[in-house]
Each structure stands twice: as structure tokens, then as C-alpha cells.
Structure 1
Amino acid sequence: MIRKAVTGLLAPIAILLSTGIPSAQAHDKSVGSTNPGPVYETVTDKSGKLSLQTFGRPDGKDMVFRISGSVYANIEGNSLDPAMRHGQKLFNIEGYNIRRLYRVPDTNQLYQLSREIVFYTDPADPQRILREWRNPIDGKTYPVVPINNDTVNFGPFTITPSYAGPPMRQLHDETVWTSDIGVRTNFGTTLGERFGLAGGVYAAQEMFDFSVDRREVAARTKPGVPAGAMKTKISWARTSPWAPFMCLAETDVRGQLTYHARSWSLGSYAQIEPWLRAEVEAKHPLYKAAPGAPGPSESSWTSFHNKQLGKGATTWAGWCAANGRA
């Protein structure tokens, strides 16, 4: 299993299956093709077939995991009450990860290539995107920065006929599997920016449950290359430090965020609701498609560092000071 820092909301989907063993290359019918289909077609293990289809469509076209949920304050001892209560719903979140499977030409190596954009929305109205947020601790209002990770890539994974996915169980009519990952990244060392984190270390817990119903399992595990995206449902929870735009230093303000969301697969970008596509097309058009080739990845925090802090041109504390409005 690959031991990498999780870099996106749905990144653990990729980590689940990163266990390929090098072997002879699979034969492709077209030299130089990045189409994953001929490599996918060699897999015989049921769990390998199912879990690979959470990476992307076996035909190599874009698919989407739509993400919808809520974010709550998780405050030890309810110590910030009444300004912020333990269990208080602070935001809704609405967005998606758009991804594809990419084959390294003339090899049996696959990548998952993706981008993700997730908006913080009004806790009372999921479709009202928040542009600013009033910090109840310092009384200042800050611009809300969506999760916008370009890109979130994993691989390469070596795909052989014996390629296997994670352990799976049958619960009623559904095949289910899980991924629980503790994340620890020292941004003080890697970025030279501590973000107000204890020791400069981002520490979080990511927990995923995947489920596919029996009819879809039967349809998607037959020999050959299945068309379209597998109908997959995901439950996701994350406990992590305050988001960077909130300008709450973990070292000074006790508490964390708990994210709880659902995710479900869509066959293409066109299947996303019009209100969400309108926001993306007006302000974030890059996220209409998955990347075309492997490259470096971002997390919510490295994205903030790259885009808001100018890759270190200013500090997190400096950004908060410049953007907080009384």
C-alpha cells in the first residue's frame, strides 16, 4: 500500500488499491495509447475490478464524484461557547471531484488523474455559495476560499491479472469496503508555513465507506471493458484543523472541524446540477475536466499556499491580517 499524504477529499480512493507488483507489460492494441481499457481488461479479481472503477471509467473518459455534506465545529469541552458551540453547523459543502484513468503509453501502469472543487455554502441553504464568513472569535469577516485542488493525482499503479482491491463485505444487497486513514503532514517543513498549526503539522482523520449494489456489481465485473461510470455511493467523514480561510490558529483556538458528506458517481461533468456548473463556468472553468497527463498534486492547504499566499510571497498570518474586515 502506498504511504502518501492524502491530498484531496477523495484521494483515499486511490490509496486503497496502490499495491501492484511489477510484471510483464500488458499487451495493447494501439501503440502509444493512454486508454486504460486494455490494461483494465486483464484484471480477473472482483475487488480489483470494482475498486479500479472508483479511480475512473475503464474507457478513460472523465467521470465525477459529486460531493454534498456539512461541516461542524468540534470543540473540546465546548470551550468557545457562546461564540461558537460544540456541534454547531458552520457550513454546508457542495462540489465534486472530476477524474479519469490514464495509462502510461505502452505499459501496464495506470494513474488516477483528478481535480476537485468544493464550495462552502450557507448552513441553512446548500445552494447559496458563501463569499465571506464572519469569524465569531475575533469578530472579523474573511473571504471564503473554496476547496480548489488542481491537481489530485496518484500513481502509477502496476496492473496485472492478479491485481486485487481491498477486502469487501456483502451487507444486504450491497458490496461495501472502507478506507480509514490518519493524515500527518509537516507544512512547517515542506512549505515553510505553519498556518497556526500545532508544531506546523496538519493532522487529520479521513474515513470512507464505499457501496455498490449487487446488480451493479454483476454488471461491472463481467469480462471486458464496461461502459460509463460505475454507480457508487460513498460516505465520507473528516476531522481536521480549522480551514485556512477561517484564520483561526489551532495553537490559540481549541477545536477542529468535522466534515460529514455523501458522494455519488456521475458519468460526466454534464450530469452535475446547473446551479453548480454555472458557478464553475463563471469562476473556475479549469474544473470542467480532469487533467490530461500526470503532474504534481495539491491539498486544500497547499492549494491555499499556492494561490492565496503566492507560494510563500506572503504568510498565512499576513493574509489574515490583510483580508480580515472589522
Structure 2
Amino acid sequence: MFKRRAFTLSAALTALLVCVAVPGAAAGEELDDPTAPGPVYRTVTDKSGLLSLQTNGRPDGRDMVFRISGAVYANIEGNAHDPQLRHGQKLFNIEGYNIRRLYRVPGTTQLYQLSREIVFYTDPADPTKIVREWTNPIDLRTYPVVPINNDTVNFGPFNVTPSYAGPPLRQMHDETVWTSDIPVRTNFGLTLGESFGLVNGVYAAQEMFDFYVDDREVAARTVAGTVPRGAMKTKISWSRTSPWAPFMCLPETGVRGQLTYHARSWSLPSYLDIEPWLRAEVDAAHPLYKAAPTEPGPSENSWTSFYNKQLGKGATTWADWCAANGRA
């Protein structure tokens, strides 16, 4: 969901995030770790490159978080399922985060962004109340709600040299802004042998991200030749239009419509800066998501995660999962 350009929106951050770009003791310490990004990050001079790298992870190599908060709506052509399922109906709130770090391949200028993300579907009227079951208004069966739980979400390697550059920047009032719009097309019927009820077995979605950094933060964290400490204060606006989530058991081939996700995200220094109610759920049921991965590996998205964890990597089919888990 919240990928490298996500990821991943707005909130006030604590004084821990008011960090200055100085090479001090922390920079010296990170040089002792062969996977630390600092040595190659320090060579970058392009302002946009410095900013985009800091949304991928902290230059000091420690974990950072993008907290995610938003809502999910039904997007139905022609309002075709009214009144059971109306166009524009708010189906869920979403609350969660992506935890990430920058990883350097030892002895090289190659960097990866390594992350995990966990996002819960919550009550439309109460964002802090996690939804455990959902009644499909089309077939009237109740299904378990499976959170977005992607282990892992990795990008790279990307070669970070003195010529490394980021996306075009734009000035908007007192903020520096850039955009990433990503069309996603994946043939799950071909790659997984599972169509999930998608048209032609193809997952087609649109991911749209806007990044905002205050100009004072930009000035403090784009000093060439230094390694900033902590996480850059970043806000992200994220929208996604995508097929019905797998746990909803609504085949795209038979039930016209999609989901629209609209969320905000904001950077936090670490897992411990997430609200207690959300950490309590992760601590109890999803402890893997308390830290970013420590080395590169294969990535998941919401659909391959469902395939791996709910379908046993093909041991059962999506249609059989729906038949077995739907309660009348």
C-alpha cells in the first residue's frame, strides 16, 4: 500500500524530530555499520535527491515510521448496487503505518528501502475501533476482515552517487512539494495462478502521492556533505483506486465497482512514537511489524500477502476461502 513514494499525510511532530544536519558523533557511529546509508548519502548534492532519500528512510540508517490514517469508500459506476451498496459510501476508516529503513549493500553505492506495513480497517464512525468482521451487502455473508499486512515492502537497489537526483520540486507557500503517481498493473492469474475474481486476472490500480516538507525543515536537512539525524518531518497525501479488497469476497468480474482509499501520512522517529492503542494491537497480534527488515528480500502487496497468508501460497483458492469463511 504505502510504498517507496508513499508510503506511504498531516500531524504535529515532537521535538525529537527537530534535528539538524550535522556530521557529529552519530555520523561517526553510523560509519561503523557496513549497511549504513550515510557514506553514500553524504555524496549527494541535488536538493531533491536529498529530500527523496529522506522519505525512503533516515540517513542514519535507523528505523522510521510513516503513520497512515484515512478512509475507504465505494466507487461504483452508475451507482449500480444501490441501496445495498451505494456509490460514495464510506466503508471503513484505515489506521496503521509503514516502518522502514535505508540499507546499503556493503562496499557499494547501492541502497534499498526496506519496510513492513500494517494497516487496520477500522469502524467508519470510530477510527480507533478495529473491525474484525464485515458483512458483504451483496451476498449477505459475514467475512473476517484481514488487515493490510505486507511483509516485506522493499525497493531497490538504486545507485546513489554524486549525480543522484530526485523528482521535480514545487514551491507552495512555505512548503516544498513533489508528486508521484503510479499506475499499477499486475497479472495475478499469470504470476500466481489465482485470479481473485479480477477481470482477466489482472490487478489494476492507481496510486497517487503528494509529499510536503516545510521550508525550514528543507533548509536544515539539505546541507550537502552531512548526514542528518532522525526522521525528516514529512507529510503525505495518498489516494488509491483499486479493486475490492480480497477479504470482501466481491468478484470484480461480477460486482461492478472499486475502492477509493484517501489518507494522510506523517513521519515519526520510531515505533515507540505511534499511539498506544495502535501499538497495543501490534504488540499483541502482529509483533513482526515493530521493526523494519534487516536485509533485502521479496516484497508483498495486499493481494500477494493475502495469497501467501490466507491462501497458503495456493494451497486453497480465493473462491474456496470465501466459501469456507463466509458466515450466513
TM category, shorter = over 0.9
Residue pair 1:31, 1:105 contacting (<8 A) in 2 also: no
- Read off the aligned partner of 2:203 and give its amino acid letter: Y
Residue pair 1:14, 1:112 contacting (<8 A) in 2 also: no
Cα 1:14/1:40, change in 2 over 3 Å: farther
CA displacement, residues 31-82 of structure 1 (integer Å, 9 cap, x when unaligned)? 8710101110000000000000000000000000000000000000001000
Q: 2:105 & 2:7 partners in 1: Cα distance? A: 16
Q: 2:191 & 2:94 partners in 1: Cα distance? A: 28
Cα 1:165/1:74, change in 2 over 3 Å: same
TM-score (structure 1 length as normaliser): 0.92
The residue number in structure 2 matching 1:257 is 259
Unaligned runs of 5+ in 1: 1-7, 16-28
- 1:12: Cα distance to partner? 3.2
Residue pair 1:193, 1:316 contacting (<8 A) in 2 also: yes
- Read off the aligned partner of 2:282 and give its amino acid letter: V
The residue number in structure 2 matching 1:212 is 213
Residue pair 2:7, 2:98 contacting (<8 A) in 1 also: no
- 1:13: Cα distance to partner? 4.5
The residue number in structure 2 matching 1:311 is 313
The residue number in structure 1 matching 2:86 is 85
The residue number in structure 2 matching 1:297 is 299
CA displacement, residues 287-322 of structure 1 (integer Å, 9 cap, x when unaligned)? 000000000000000000000000000000000000
The residue number in structure 1 matching 2:21 is none
Q: 2:155 & 2:214 partners in 1: Cα distance? A: 26
Residues 200-239 of structure 1 mapped to structure 2, 5 A cutoff? 200-223=201-224, 224-239=226-241
* Secondary structure at 1:49 match in 2: helix
Where has structure 1 moved over 4 Å in runs of 4 or more? 29-32
Residue pair 1:31, 1:106 contacting (<8 A) in 2 also: no
The residue number in structure 2 matching 1:113 is 114
Q: 1:45 & 1:307 partners in 2: Cα distance? A: 41
Q: 1:90 & 1:103 partners in 2: Cα distance? A: 40
The residue number in structure 1 matching 2:3 is 10
Question: Percent identity, aligned pairs only?
Answer: 81
The residue number in structure 1 matching 2:191 is 190
- 1:10: Cα distance to partner? 2.5
Q: 1:116 & 1:30 partners in 2: Cα distance? A: 28
Q: 1:241 & 1:161 partners in 2: Cα distance? A: 41
Q: 1:30 & 1:98 partners in 2: Cα distance? A: 22
Q: 1:144 & 1:131 partners in 2: Cα distance? A: 5
CA displacement, residues 105-161 of structure 1 (integer Å, 9 cap, x when unaligned)? 011110000000000000000000000000000000000000000000011110111
- Read off the aligned partner of 1:320 and give its amino acid letter: C
CA displacement, residues 240-294 of structure 1 (integer Å, 9 cap, x when unaligned)? 0000000000000000000000000000000000000000000000000000000
- 1:209: Cα distance to partner? 0.3
Give me the CA root mean square deviation: 1.5
The residue number in structure 1 matching 2:286 is 284
Q: 2:42 & 2:216 partners in 1: Cα distance? A: 20
Q: 1:213 & 1:303 partners in 2: Cα distance? A: 35
Residue pair 1:72, 1:88 contacting (<8 A) in 2 also: yes
CA displacement, residues 14-44 of structure 1 (integer Å, 9 cap, x when unaligned)? 99xxxxxxxxxxxxx9587101011100000
Q: 1:203 & 1:268 partners in 2: Cα distance? A: 33
Unaligned runs of 5+ in 2: 9-29
Q: 1:152 & 1:298 partners in 2: Cα distance? A: 6
The residue number in structure 2 matching 1:71 is 72
Residue pair 1:168, 1:177 contacting (<8 A) in 2 also: yes
Pair 1:57 & 2:50 matched: no
CA displacement, residues 214-253 of structure 1 (integer Å, 9 cap, x when unaligned)? 0000001013000000000000000000000000000000
Q: 2:119 & 2:6 partners in 1: Cα distance? A: 17
Q: 2:149 & 2:304 partners in 1: Cα distance? A: 10
Residues 90-169 of structure 1 mapped to structure 2, 5 A cutoff? 90-169=91-170
Q: 1:92 & 1:13 partners in 2: Cα distance? A: 18
